[in-house]
Amino acid sequence: MNEFVLNEDRFFDSDLSIRKFARELYNEIKDYPIISPHGHVDPNIFVENKPFPNPTELFISPDHYVFRMLYSQGVPLEELDIPQIGGKRLGKDPKKVWQLFAENYYLFAGTPSGVWLDYEFNKVFGIKEKLNGNNAQKVFDMINEQLQTEEFLPRNLFKKFNIEILTTTDAATDQLINHQQIKQSGWDGRVIPCFRPDGLTNLLNPNWKNELTELGKLTSLDVNNYKNFISALEMRREYFKSMGATSTDHGVISPFTYKLTEGEVNAIFSRALNGKATERDAELFTANMLMEMARMSCDDGLTMQIHAGSNRNHNNVIYEKYGLDKGCDIPQRTDYTENLKELLNAYGNNLNFTVIVFTLDETTYSRELAPLAGHYPAMKLGPAWWFHDSIEGMTRYRQMVTETAGFYNTVGFNDDTRAFVSIPARHDVARRVDANFLGGLVARHIINVDEAKNIIKDLTYNLVKKAYKL
């Protein structure tokens, strides 16, 4: 077998007249520090700073991008010992799980997971072979050995990856103890929270009442009335800000925005308190809470993020046994033009407000999102998200967004990952795709190379800091 090396020109157009510019542009920014303004890394790994247990626990068990694909090809989640609800594990031998993964590694050909894993194995762990069933155990051992070393402790990887800022995502009722501990530890890695109140703004959350109780405790307010509920959320936002947060995040099935009257919202809130909220109540309440959150952002300056369009837990069999985030969230059609109208009319002309919108429905890039972001000063477009965080996906994003919104109504890259070790891989792909897209514009004489150099720097670093007020 040939030695497996990542080609220095990977992902660039094969036509050399584009590739040469892509390479030149990529070289301008490849060593820039990483700003990760949105993601799901567990901050506790930096508190404990303990070795990752083993390759299986690092690459497979926590990564629904990975086990989703194996599951789709008939590998039961039980065989992979994916954590079940309540954390239950079957105690499979990690080496056997790894073997199964390696034998099926060919399934990832042409997927972003394949691209990221190749990078992680090769660049982070120095593996010079493509993973397969034959070398599975050798590769397991090689990675495992390194994981036990000082160099591969989370804080050292943070520095090695050249991360300037890492943002986590945290419930409104999270006390941010990990973030406090990181601060108090004296370690200088900048890990900041992001305020995500979905558990409280979605009345259909089975845990809503508990979260509400917790909110009351944390704020010492009687949150059994809507007005206090709002005040309590404002207090939590203040607390998050004091802990370094610069943004909020809102995951919604639809980006519908609608301000309820005082009477309406009180009625819905009280039905919710009595466990009698309907689906329509929940829709309206979420729409109303997006309005409240936008208003609060105008006041406290936190950048607002809206992630819309994921039909969560589509597969009930998996959900009931394994719970959330197990690869069975399926996108659905999403409309922004009418849904965001009320929010944008109320706050979209406000120069102190930034709302970053994400989609899983690519049809809205050119039809709705680019025209909206190309008009409203408050609105910016989030990068290609989730299933679209990929070479083709990010390329289509630039192709469909740029002509209407330009580059400057976008906000750089989000890795949005819980897989800490994949962060440099993901940012590298994004930088290469942007370099290649700009290289194509230069090669076709749409912009010149000096313009492209300014733009790639802004896309990599400046726009993200500006949009997230970092």
Integer Cα distance of 302 and 296 in angstroms:
8
Looking at the Cβ atoms of 210 and 349, the one nearer to a copy of itself is: 349
DSSP-derived secondary structure for 108-164: GTTSHHHHHHHHIIIIIT---S---TTTHHHHHHHHHHHHTSGGGSHHHHHHHTTEE
Q: State which of residues 391, 430, 435, 463 lies at the interface with a copy of itself (CB under 8 A).
A: 391
Looking at the Cβ atoms of 139 and 429, the one nearer to a copy of itself is: 429
Show Cβ contacts of residue 350 under 8 Å, excluding neighbours closer than 6 positions. 298, 377, 378
Specify the 3-state DSSP secondary structure of 379.
strand
Residue whose pair of structure tokens reads 């086990």 in the numeric block: 67
Q: Under the criterion CB under 8 A, does residue 403 sit at the interface with a copy of itself?
A: yes
Q: State which of residues 6, 230, 243, 470 lies at the interface with a copy of itself (CB under 8 A).
A: 6
Q: State which of residues 96, 341, 453, 457 lies at the interface with a copy of itself (CB under 8 A).
A: 341
Kindly provide the b/e burial profile for residues 178-209, where b requires at least 16 CB atoms within 10 angstroms of the residue's own CB. bbeebbeeebeebbbbbbbbbbbbbbeeeebe
Q: State which of residues 27, 149, 213, 399 lies at the interface with a copy of itself (CB under 8 A).
A: 399
Q: Under the criterion CB under 8 A, does residue 371 sit at the interface with a copy of itself?
A: yes
Strands 310-311 and 330-331: antiparallel
* Six-digit token string for 31: 């060593």
The interface mask with a copy of itself, positions 152-171, x = CB under 8 A, is --------------------
Q: Interface residues for a copy of itself in 8-47 (CB under 8 A)?
A: 9-18
Q: State which of residues 44, 49, 181, 366 lies at the interface with a copy of itself (CB under 8 A).
A: 366
Q: State which of residues 204, 218, 291, 447 lies at the interface with a copy of itself (CB under 8 A).
A: 447
Looking at the Cβ atoms of 229 and 347, the one nearer to a copy of itself is: 347
Binding segment for a copy of itself (CB under 8 A), chosen from 42-50, 227-235, 273-281, 442-450, is: 442-450
Q: Under the criterion CB under 8 A, does residue 148 sit at the interface with a copy of itself?
A: no
* Six-digit token string for 306: 């809206």
Q: Under the criterion CB under 8 A, does residue 469 sit at the interface with a copy of itself?
A: no
Q: Under the criterion CB under 8 A, does residue 321 sit at the interface with a copy of itself?
A: no
Q: Under the criterion CB under 8 A, does residue 213 sit at the interface with a copy of itself?
A: no
Binding segment for a copy of itself (CB under 8 A), chosen from 42-50, 162-170, 234-242, 326-334, is: 326-334
Residues 243, 190: contact at Cβ < 8 Å?
no
Binding segment for a copy of itself (CB under 8 A), chosen from 119-127, 184-192, 242-250, 344-352, is: 344-352
Q: How far is CA 114 from the centre of its chain?
A: 18
Binding segment for a copy of itself (CB under 8 A), chosen from 209-217, 225-233, 289-297, 366-374, is: 366-374
Q: How many residues bind a copy of itself (CB under 8 A)?
A: 94
Specify the 3-state DSSP secondary structure of 78.
helix
* Six-digit token string for 42: 């567990």
Q: From 161, 179, 191, 188, select the one nearest 421 (Cα to Cα).
A: 161
Q: How far is CA 163 from the centre of its chain?
A: 16
Looking at the Cβ atoms of 215 and 452, the one nearer to a copy of itself is: 452
Binding segment for a copy of itself (CB under 8 A), chosen from 81-89, 142-150, 218-226, 333-341, is: 333-341
Q: Interface residues for a copy of itself in 48-107 (CB under 8 A)?
A: 68-69, 71-74, 106-107
Looking at the Cβ atoms of 24 and 451, the one nearer to a copy of itself is: 451
Q: State which of residues 110, 151, 156, 185 lies at the interface with a copy of itself (CB under 8 A).
A: 110
Q: From 215, 243, 248, select the one nearest 229 (Cα to Cα).
A: 215
Kindly report the CA angle at 342 between 337 and 348, in degrees rounded to 5?
Answer: 85
Q: Under the criterion CB under 8 A, does residue 117 sit at the interface with a copy of itself?
A: no
Q: How far is CA 390 from the centre of its chain?
A: 13
Q: Under the criterion CB under 8 A, does residue 333 sit at the interface with a copy of itself?
A: yes
Q: State which of residues 235, 243, 318, 470 lies at the interface with a copy of itself (CB under 8 A).
A: 318
Looking at the Cβ atoms of 63 and 361, the one nearer to a copy of itself is: 361
Integer Cα distance of 463 and 186 in angstroms:
29
Binding segment for a copy of itself (CB under 8 A), chosen from 168-176, 177-185, 220-228, 400-408, is: 400-408
Burial class (CB in 10 A: 0-12, 13-18, 19+), 330: middle
Q: State which of residues 27, 156, 213, 363 lies at the interface with a copy of itself (CB under 8 A).
A: 363
Structural element, H or E, at residue 199: helix 198-201
Q: List residues bridging with 311 in a β-sheet.
A: 330
Closest CB 267 distance from a copy of itself, rounded Å: 27
